[in-house]
């Protein structure tokens, strides 16, 4: 930790990576929820997912 320059904190890259992963997970869950709702309500999940993308 002492070797790294002060201008680049050691947690900066980890924080950005965690944020990126969190966004991916949230978006994936949102897509799955829409997929399930469309599948249950219409029975035509493929068309619903294509419309959402």
For 6-48, the pLDDT digits (tens) are: 565 556 677 888 888 888 788 887 776 666 565 555 555 445 4
Cα(first)–Cα(last) distance of the chain, in Å? 43
pLDDT for res 20: 86
DSSP 43: S
CA 49/CA 29 separation, integer angstroms: 13
């Amino acid at each position: 930790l002492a070797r790294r320059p002060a201008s680049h904190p050691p947690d900066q890259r980890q924080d950005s990576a965690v944020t990126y992963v969190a966004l991916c997970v949230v978006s994936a869950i949102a897509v799955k929820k829409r997929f399930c709702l469309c599948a249950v309500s219409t029975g035509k999940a493929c068309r619903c997912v294509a419309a959402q993308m």
